[in-house]
A and B are shown apart, each in its own frame.
Chain A
Amino acid sequence: MVLNCKDVRREISNYLDDDISPEMRAALEAHLAQCRHCTAVLDGTHNVLVLIADDRVFPLPAGFSARLHEKLRRELESV
């Protein structure tokens, strides 16, 4: 199986999720080995996903849990 850049871009997300067949993985990696652009797309996408998964990027608002628990406490006391 030989893939072009368009084929590779369609599979990049599945590749990052390890959700492709061994044959597709081999073909994709063969393409990446000789395509600088697709490699840059893969690496950049991968890095963005690592970064946004970090808890520091999307923190809970300060005091969120305390306010939630106070609201829950009032609810629990009322039933």
Chain B
Amino acid sequence: MVTEQMAERKNPSSHDPALEANLIARVLQGEKEVFYELIRAYEKSVYLTAFSVLQNSGDAEEVSQEAILKAFRHLADFRGESRFGTWLVKIALNEARMHLRKQHRHMWESMECQNQEDESDYLPEEFGDWREIPSEALERKEIRDLLSNAVAALPEIYREVIALRDIRQMSVAETAEVLGVRKQVVKTRLLRARLRLRDMVAPFTTSRGLFSRNPFRRGTNPWF
């Protein structure tokens, strides 16, 4: 599963909530420089969330900075009803969407997304087996590019859910909260996005012999 082990390893939202509440209180009491410490663990989540919408690193960085500044200016409005990281990433998502709206680039893609939400069951394509966990393959730029291009090729609603849930390891509940949708919607989008990613990546990995076809070992894998 996408999962607790991985989430604990890398999910910035696994920040200790008590520590975080203390940091927030100190910032609000005037120790402004403590804000650096508060947001440090979330920099990548904020950036990747913005990038999932904007698909441009310069725009995503600009929006990330704006989102974090906005969080600082409005920190007193944070009520602790969600985790700080969730609140911050939600600001980043909204900022990115507003940025995109200003650019008028979203119009056609929004229509495409609308249609894809309505699509019937997605049928994964037939490819050969690909069972190994080839993490050492990521040393190769070719493989990293293959993966990032596959994510980039997804419609925006799928990129967002993949960025939050599968890249940054947020829970389904947190992902739903950031996106402002029900958990079931997150699960449906995840299913479609994940199968599409597999369909885009698998042909290259199998036909070009990039990875061997040894079965991966259930029981030793983070998912099982």
Task: Report which A residues bind B (CB closer than 8 A).
Answer: 6, 9-10, 12-14, 16-19, 36-37, 39-41, 43-58, 60-61, 64-65, 67-69, 71-72, 75-76, 79
Contacts and interface: CB of A to CB of B under 8 A. Distances in A.
12 contacts: A16-B223, A17-B1, A45-B198, A47-B205, A51-B137, A61-B61, A67-B61, A69-B36, A72-B35, A75-B69, A76-B32, A76-B72
A18 B45 CA distance: 24
Closest 5 pairs between A and B when the two form their complex, measured CB to CB:
A18-B1, A13-B191, A45-B198, A43-B131, A44-B202
Interface of B: 1-3, 6, 10, 32-33, 35-36, 40, 43-44, 47-48, 51, 57, 61, 64-65, 68-69, 72, 121-124, 126-135, 137-138, 143-144, 147-148, 150-151, 162, 166-167, 169, 172, 187, 190-191, 194-195, 197-198, 201-202, 205, 215-216, 221-223
Nearest to B144: A57
Contacts, number: 155
B68 A72 contact: yes
